[in-house]
Chains A and B, each alone.
Chain A
Amino acid sequence: MQQTLSALVIHDIKNSLALLEADLEQLNHRADAPDEARKAYQRCIELKNRLICFLTLYKHEHAGLKPNISEVELFEFLEDLVAGSQSAMLASRHGHAIEVCVADLGIRIAPEVRRKGVASLDEYLVDLALESALNNAVRYAASKVDIWFEQDADRLTFFVLDDGPRPTRTGNAAQEASPGKPASTGLGLSLCKAVTEAHGGGSVALADAPGGGALFTMAFDIAG
């Protein structure tokens, strides 16, 4: 009974948050929207993302995430991810614009991959994980965030690179946020790990990028 009640309450909160977000979205479309409206919108999105992230992790720990696998065209998928990313949108509304793009040049597909540029994934879960990685990246980036993938015969890896401070200097996921920016909860990396586990395993890491900045990698052990 208690579980049913909790499920109902959470469902209700999630729906109400979505409606609040839609209202704030509309408000922000107006040319005369005050700065507070933008902040409220941003807070609402953060809150919704945290709730979804929490719910996904809760499900992973209690019932196990069951991925709904479909064929995903990887380039289109990343393109849509960036085009529809709220983190990317909010980044462009901050004081200084941060450019988020799919880095064509980074994409590498090994010759032995049978289905080039296509993978069997749960689009929704991977989108959720990468959106959380993007959200983290735009929060620290100085001006630019790049996203791309590499496909090998037995592994698919996504990369998110930002030109912000190196994570080792600031202390990985628990790094201090810049003043005025919301602090990270650390839920993001756990979510990404849960998503790779749900797909049968892989690895997630946040490390210093070779040329400076932070490089996030999420690898899936899946055949290509």
Chain B
Amino acid sequence: MQDRTDANSMANMLAGKQETFESEYIRFDALTALVIDDIGAMRHALRSQLQWMGINSIKVAADAQEALQQVEANHYDLVLCDYNLNKATSGQHFLEYLRSERLLSARTIFVMVTAEAEYAYVANAVEFAPDDYILKPCPEKKLRARLERLFDRRNFLLPALAAMDDKNYLQVVSECERLMTLVSNERWLLAALKLKAEALLALNDTTDLLKTYEQALALRDNVPWVKIGIARARMLLNEPDAAEEMARQIVADNPSYVAAYELLAEIRRMQKDEEGAYLLMEQSAKILPTAKRFRSNAESAFLLGKLDEAKQYAESAIRLSNGSITERPDDYLSLAHIQTDLGDPQGAIHTLEKSARRFEEKGAYGISRNAILAQAYFDAGDKAAAKRLPERAQRLLTPESGSSALNLIGKAAFKMGDSVLGLKMLTQAVQSSGLERERIARHVTKSMIDTGQHDKVEEVIDAGQRRVLALVDEARKSMHVAQFDAAYRKVLDALAIQSDNIEALFAAAQLHLLWLKRDGIDDDVQERAKSYLAVLDKLVPHNEKVMGFYRFYDQLTGA
């Protein structure tokens, strides 16, 4: 076995630097591993290879469902996952699911095992990329060399990764900065910069983000995540043109790069070009089809009035996720809603009463189901059945039911002639939409136009909020370039118009946290930060973003 510090010494030799970090000998016997492969013989072969390396604690799983149970129940240092799991879930779907649900520890190394033909798919999955991939067949010696390299890097980053698992993002930033002073190996420096950028994004700290990505760019000018990072940072800094130019350049260099298309779509959306955003998302779903992408495209197409395309995407989402961990009852709601609007009430009734029969009629799903069925029965001429359903939907309502469900009851009410209930539900939907305001506002507008309520749209959607949102937007722009005083004035103006506006309160809390971070503890700023957080906690209890702010606050004040 070669000495792994060689790579560092080589980098040092090239850079003329002195190394102060020494990599430790990797103790495979202390590691835990999970092997996921649907073919028994392959599973066995991979497990034996790991055993011969000295790993004693190895679990195996034959499919994503089994693997999910394992990941939820235990911590693994290593997950070796076959790309081609089964028809319903590929290794990439599984990884996307684990990462988006945050089920994977930052310390876990996820390696995708792929056949050569599948490699391009894995290599293009930038957003949810595995830590590494190995091509089948992989002899034990090669696997070992690869794993030693990966664990070497993980051990180097361990203090920062542990802080990441604790969601202590400030500490992640400071640990990464400390680690970067210890080595000159470019690959390790890049890994530390990548982790630091992730932590800054989690902190919503845009002031340091661009600088971090630019440091990475100075090391390597051809790494896709660095370019995507720069484009994203520019977008957050409200420089959409520069962001778009960068993202377009990535697409030109690598036309199959999904993350670049998705970022471009976000930029288009930011500029209120929904049609343009939809076209880009269509391209990304073509390159890497997942249920999540089909789902999101079904919604965009629906909102743009492209009902036939919406139906196709909704059906594809169901087909792709059926029987897999990514299956969602909401997909049946979307399909039935689209079918109703397409003038196929029988199809909608079939979707909800036959295909989605196994899902329990409770919570937001139950409300939405009854509201859509009410419209379908009404359209099908069964007025008696239609009349009972909105009542059933209302009985299930709770303060946490969510704006989408309220929108559907409102639409059903308008359709069936109950404009008092319709107006009440849709106004409530907009008011409780919080950070999803724009999306919900589009749905509510569509519901109102579809049911002939054009004249009331302004009244429901606006309700004095337009000025507030413009002020919040301006505040964010100032905040991103660290002009905190200017940002504060805008936030105060916004809150003077509407003191319980969620977005204004979010901006206020974030602004004060960044202020404390930059200038250190100041009693006034600290007091204000605390009070904004308290109001938010009351208005949107258990909100993940608010909890994140609280953690940030605790870390800043040492609480």
Contact = CB atoms under 8 A, between A and B. Distances in A.
Interface of A: 11, 14-15, 17-19, 21-23, 25-26, 29, 45, 48, 68, 70-71, 73, 75-76, 79-80, 82-86, 89, 102, 104, 107, 109, 115-118, 120, 124
Interface string B30-59: 000000000001100100110010000000
A84 B142 contact: yes
B463 interface: no
B156 to A, nearest CB: 14
B137 interface: yes
A102 B10 CA distance: 12
A92 to B, nearest CB: 11
A71 B221 CA distance: 10
B383 interface: no
Interface stretch (B90-98, B143-151, B543-551): B143-151
Q: What is the interface of chain A mostly: helix, strand, loop, or mixed?
A: helix
A61 to B, nearest CB: 16
B28 interface: no
29 contacts: A15-B42, A18-B137, A19-B41, A19-B45, A21-B137, A21-B139, A23-B45, A25-B140, A26-B52, A48-B137, A70-B123, A73-B7, A75-B6, A79-B2, A79-B6, A79-B7, A80-B149, A82-B2, A83-B2, A84-B139, A84-B142, A84-B146, A86-B141, A86-B142, A89-B141, A104-B6, A117-B11, A120-B222, A124-B135
Interface string B210-229: 00000000001111000000
Contacts of B41: 19
Given A25-B49, A26-B52, A76-B187, 11 more contacts: A15-B42, A19-B41, A25-B140, A26-B48, A68-B123, A71-B222, A75-B11, A79-B7, A83-B145, A86-B141, A124-B119
A218 B557 CA distance: 59
B123 A116 contact: no
Given A109-B14, A124-B119, A83 B7 contact: no
A75 B10 contact: yes
A19 B137 CA distance: 8
Contacts of B342: none
B304 interface: no
Interface in B242-295: none
A118 B48 contact: no
A68 B120 contact: yes
Given A71-B223, A75-B10, A117-B10, A80 B146 contact: yes
Nearest to A81: B145
Contacts of A107: 10
Nearest to B46: A22
Nearest to A114: B221
Contacts of A14: 137
- The number of chain B residues touching the other chain, given as a range, is 35 or more
Nearest to B10: A75
Contact of B52 (A21, A29, A89, A120): A29
B47 to A, nearest CB: 10
Contacts of A11: 115
Nearest to B45: A22
Contacts of A68: 119-120, 123
Nearest to B253: A69
Contacts of B220: 71, 115, 118
Nearest to A70: B123
A115 B14 CA distance: 11
Contact of B139 (A25, A29, A79): A25
A84 B141 contact: yes
A33 to B, nearest CB: 13
B1 interface: yes
A45 B10 CA distance: 32
A104 to B, nearest CB: 7
A80 B511 CA distance: 47
A76 B2 CA distance: 11
Contact of B49 (A22, A118, A124): A22
Given A21-B139, A120-B222, A84 B6 contact: no
Contacts of B222: 71, 115, 120
Output the residue of B42, B45, B135, B221 with the most chain A CB within 10 A: B45
A21 B139 CA distance: 8
Contacts of B6: 75, 79, 104
Nearest to B144: A84
B136 interface: yes
Contacts of A116: 14
B459 interface: no
A118 B120 contact: no
B223 A86 contact: no
A31 B115 CA distance: 32
B145 A80 contact: yes
Pick the 5 closest A-B CB pairs, nearest first: A18-B137, A84-B142, A22-B45, A84-B145, A83-B145
Contacts of B141: 83-86, 89
A114 to B, nearest CB: 9
Nearest to B44: A22
Contacts of B139: 21, 25, 45, 84, 86
B137 A76 contact: no
A187 B543 CA distance: 62
Interface string B120-161: 100100000000000111011111111011000000000000
B287 to A, nearest CB: 14
Nearest to A26: B48
